[in-house]
Amino acid sequence: MSSTALTPEIQDAVEAVRADVARLHGELVRYGLVVWTGGNVSGRVPGADLFVIKPSGVSYDDLAPENMILCDLDGNVIPGTPGSERSPSSDTAAHAYVYRNMPDVGGVVHTHSTYAVAWAARGEEIPCVITGMADEFGGPIPIGPFAVIGDDSIGRGIVETLRGHRSRAVLMQNHGPFTIGVSAKDAVKAAVMCEDAARSVHIAREAGPLIPIPQDRIDALYNRYQNVYGQNSDARR
């Protein structure tokens, strides 16, 4: 596919996603989820088999919309589009795998945020002992398999862990969190809340036993939050 194949409507959608994805990287910095050039956000282009992702190894100070990179769902850069002279994030194949296999996913985020990485290094899921986690994730945040870059194993690990799971976050073992959402913004929110949960529960457990929340209370909190919270669900778009 070349850039000339894009209709004006798709071109407009691409521009909107470029702006969103560029801006949302600033939220990773604001919440301390990334250092140096690590971490990446991508967003699906509505109405097209395309997504937009961060370039590889570029400073967070240089992330303008026109530097973001447009890819097809196999992770190939669309030639002739802005940013296409650069390499996309080295995690592009994992993002692409998720978009190919989870059609409802509109955004994917990956970070090495400190506390989430700590749970991942022990291969231990985060138990759901605080109501904020029940609201946001509906239960524990699960661990995904150990997998390294080079084939589809990271993407497959994400999809196999999160498909059918309430959680929008998975901690890939020895690696770190990947989060998904209905939009790039929603996936960034999941990354922020995942680190917040990882930190709070870690610190809680350092000092003694945790009180579990009964399953029916977790279910009630999750159902209310997904259906009622925010301004008519605008908050997730």
Residues binding its own copies (CB under 8 A): 31, 35-38, 55-58, 86-87, 90, 112, 114-115, 117-124, 129-132, 146, 148-150, 173-176, 189, 192-193, 196, 199-211, 213, 217, 220-221, 224, 228-231, 234-235
With vertex at residue 38, the alpha carbon angle to CA 201 and CA 198, rounded to the nearest 5 degrees, is: 5
Distance CA 30, CA 27 (A): 5
Q: How far is the CB of 5 from its own copies (least distance, A)?
A: 26
Contact 197, 33 (CB under 8 A): no
H or E element, residue 4: none
- Please, which residue, 11 or 174, has the CB nearer to its own copies? 174
123 burial (CB, 10 Å; 0-12 / 13-18 / 19+) is: middle
**Amino acid (1-letter code) at residue 78:** I
- Please, which residue, 80 or 203, has the CB nearer to its own copies? 203
Q: How far is the CB of 198 from its own copies (least distance, A)?
A: 9
Distance CA 231, CA 4 (A): 38
Q: How far is the CB of 108 from its own copies (least distance, A)?
A: 18
- Please, which residue, 5 or 207, has the CB nearer to its own copies? 207
Q: Which residue has the tokens 């990271």?
A: 154
DSSP one-letter code for 6:
-
- Please, which residue, 47 or 122, has the CB nearer to its own copies? 122
Q: CB neighbours (10 Å) of residue 164?
A: 6
Q: How far is the CB of 192 from its own copies (least distance, A)?
A: 5
Q: How far is the CB of 219 from its own copies (least distance, A)?
A: 11
Chain centroid to Cα 147, Å, comes to 17
Q: How far is the CB of 206 from its own copies (least distance, A)?
A: 6
- Please, which residue, 9 or 151, has the CB nearer to its own copies? 151
